[in-house]
Amino acid sequence: MAFDKEVDLLVVGSGAGGLVAALRAAQHGASVLVVEKGSLWGGTSATSGGGIWIPGSHLAAEAGHADDLDDAFAYIRALSADNVPDSQIRAYVDNAHKMLGWITARAGVRYASLPYPDYYPETPGSREGYRTHLPLSFHAREMARASFDTMQRASPAASLWGRINWLFDETAIALYRPAGWWKTIGKVMARYWFDLPQRLKSPRDRRLTLGTALLGWLRKALDATGTPLWLDSPLESLIEEQGRVVGAVVRHQGRPLRIGARRGVVLAAGGFERNAGLRQQHLPGAKSPEASGSQVNNEGDALTQALALGAATRNLDAAWWAPVFRIPGEDRARLSTIERALPYSIVVNQAGRRYANEALCYHRFGEVMLALDSPEAGTSPSWLVFDARYRARYPAGPVIPNMPDFMLPAAVRQVLVKAGTIDALARGMGVPADALAATVSRFNAMVRAGRDTDFGRGDSAYDRLYGDPRVSPNPSLATLEEAPFYAIPLYQGDIGTSGGLVTDERARVQRRDGGVIRGLYAVGNVAASVMGYAYPGAGATLGPAMTFGYLAAADACGINAES
């Protein structure tokens, strides 16, 4: 069969999972091509926090918190769906720490293991920390300028004023302002403003953090192998010969090219959360693509092409659910992580009532929003309600603390409700004033008594993680009683779909009628998650994507498991 170009491995998608697969293959001598649908590379990984959930890592052990892989297996097994086989879970648990060690040694990626609790502390096998890992910062001067210029931009929620990048611990220092906090923030600001070569060109920060830091390291290492990455090059179809995928048709520079892939094709092109038709079919309770926080090109192209070859699917009704802020004019929703756990605030539905522990991790809170939505008490949007003390101290999505209301961007002022009394606030929100007043009164009474007896907010280690340590005895609980009062809509959304193609422990795509589609692999959100419908901990999306990318390259290219 004639091809316009031939390589050993074709990788479709340029997020972290795809880049790990490409890098591992290229460093072992394979010729690799990465193709990206969009005009920017990095996918949803670039807009993420860059965290990876890795049990049994060398970094955790070095920090004095060695993990037990059998405990991690039991934890995931208890949470994951019954249709996810033990072998796939075992492959992840046994290889995730190896992948982390490999990207550290072979790509120079630097991670730190954090005391960040698992999301289901009540489940046996969970830990109160050191499975979640976050990347350290990476300066873009270390990578090719063209690679930096064409990187997918970080989420506006992940930077100061949508411009200055910062790390998780720097955010916490700015938020809670311990003694000497201004020194840390001063260093962050100075690094930005004194990067004069960049300031003369662009307001964009070259100090990369979170997801962009991870991708900076991976792209630097990939560029060193000479591997090309084509932008504006969407997948049009897969090419199959005698039951084996031997390449793909990719549109590049305006024309379709037949790309031969001697070793195989790795699909790493994200989920289908931006496809209205697929959402209508598989996510009928959450139909709106605009409520997704993922980047705009995730329309299920790779999923659709694999289905045309008879690929099996699993759990297409699953997503990484989340409450999100939606700001007019922005092309993606903003994930709400810390706002709901902070004191001086509650979340209410359209009936003016609380309905969940606000401090739940975003996936669990999003699940509750979806499950409890009803015509009588709609949850999308819900409302994050807070008082003047919250407004002065903490961010509420795009609402920046200590910035006068009139200086907020017009789009933010358009969705923010402000009033001098709870009754007036309720009228602005369009919820029953008597119900909201009763909810606030009951909540305040529970705070004064010392415990949220309705939903247990602040009881778990995870709840307290995002609370304000200056507030005691419960850092997540404080009354709402200081005017003016505010409310901002909080929508049921997602950060990507998590159901997709059925793969095995080597990331090989399975057929509906049994067996594998030879030469075809899938990693990341195009593949059905090893976690089923659950989200065990921060980084449970990227961790499996990168681990199965690591395994896919090894299987396709015959790489020794330890090399």
Give 411-451 pLDDT, tens digit per residue: 999 999 999 999 999 999 999 999 999 999 999 999 999 99
Within a domain: 335: yes
Mean pLDDT of the chain: 95
**Residues 337, 195 within the same domain:** no
152 CB-side CA count, 13 A = 29
Containing structural domain, residue 487: 323-492
Would you call 248 helix, strand, or coil by DSSP?
strand
Range from 11-20, 121-130, 228-237, 554-563 carrying the lowest mean pLDDT: 554-563
Coil/strand/helix, residue 381: coil
* 40 occurs within a structural domain: no
Which tokens hold the place of 555? 């299987």
390: CATH: 3.90.700.10
pLDDT of amino acid 161: 73
List the beta bridge partners of residue 516: 510
End-to-end CA distance of the chain: 33
User: What is the predicted pLDDT for the residue at 287?
Assistant: 86
Helix or strand holding residue 33 (H, E): strand 32-35
CB of 294 closer than 8 Å to CB of 542: no
Which residue blocks in 257-387 are alpha helix, DSSP H? 276-282, 301-307, 362-372
> What number of residues does the chain have?
563
d(CA 102, CA 447): 48
Cα(303)–Cα(265) distance, integer angstroms = 13
Query: Average pLDDT, stretch 371-379?
Result: 96
Which three-class secondary structure state does DSSP give residue 414? Answer: helix
Any residues with CB less than 8 A from the CB of 434 and at least 6 apart, and which? Answer: 352
The mean pLDDT of 109-117, rounded to a whole number, is 95
Query: Do residues 522 and 266 make contact, with C-beta atoms less than 8 angstroms apart?
Result: yes
For 120-167, give the secondary structure using H, E and C.
CCCCCCCCCCCCEEEECCEEHHHCCHHHHHCECCCCHHHEECCCEECC
pLDDT at 74: 98
8-state DSSP, 396: B
Q: What confidence tier does 181 reach under pLDDT thresholds 50, 70, 90?
A: confident
Beta strand 508-510 pairing with 516-522: antiparallel
161 or 71: whose pLDDT is higher? Answer: 71
> Looking at the predicted structure, is the pLDDT value of residue 506 above 80?
yes
Look at residue 291 and tell me if it is in a domain.
no
- Give the pLDDT band (50/70/90) at residue 176: confident
Q: What are phi and psi of 451, to 5 degrees?
A: -155, 140
* Start-end of H helices in 63-129: 69-79, 86-107
Asked if 422 and 433 touch (Cβ cutoff 8 Å), the reply is yes
Structural tokens at position 165: 């990048």
Instruction: Give burial (CB, 10 Å; 0-12/13-18/19+) of 272.
Output: buried
pLDDT (mean) for 273-293: 92
Residue 1 has pLDDT above 80, yes or no: no
Mean pLDDT of 38-44: 96
- Among all chains, which residue has been given the structure tokens 């000479």? 226
Strand stretches in 90-198, DSSP E: 111-113, 132-135, 138-139, 159-160, 164-165
Asked whether residue 327 is domain-assigned, the answer is yes
The reported pLDDT for the residue numbered 78 is 98
Rg of the chain on CA atoms, in Å: 23
Residue 287 lies in a domain: no
How many domains, in total, are found in the chain? Answer: 2
Beta pairing partners, 238: 248
My answer on whether 333 and 194 are in the same domain is: no
What phi-psi label fits residue 547: left (phi over 0), alpha (psi between -120 and 50 degrees) or beta?
alpha
85, burial (CB in 10 Å: exposed 0-12, middle 13-18, buried 19+): middle
Confidence of residue 392 (pLDDT cuts 50, 70, 90): very high
Encode pLDDT of 315-360 as tens digits. Answer: 999 999 999 999 999 988 999 999 999 999 999 999 999 999 999 9
**Pick from 492, 520, 536: which residue ends a domain?**
492
Cα 348-463-52 angle, rounded to 5 deg: 115
The 3-state secondary structure of 487-537 reads EEEEEEEEEEECCEECECCCCEEEECCCCEEEEEEECHHHECCCCCCCCCC
* Statement: residue 162 has pLDDT above 80: no
Contact 265, 520 (CB under 8 A): yes
- Partners of 138 in the β-ladder: 208
- Report the alpha-carbon distance of residue 344 to residue 478 in Å, rounded: 5
**Of 492, 522, 554, which one is at a domain's C-terminal end?**
492
Of 492, 523, 547, the position where a domain reaches its end is: 492
Question: Is 450 inside a domain boundary?
Answer: yes
CA 97 – CA 108 distance, rounded (Å): 15
Which DSSP string do the residues of 435-470 spell out, in sequence order?
HHHHHHHHHHHHHHHTS-TTT-TT-SHHHHHTS-TT
Contact between 495 and 298 under an 8 Å Cβ cutoff? The reply is: no
According to the model, what pLDDT value does residue 286 have? Answer: 86
Task: Report yes or no on 175 lying in a domain.
Answer: yes
Q: Tell me the pLDDT band of 550, cut-offs 50, 70 and 90.
A: very high
353 touches 441 (CB < 8 A): no
Classify residue 157: in a domain, yes or no.
no
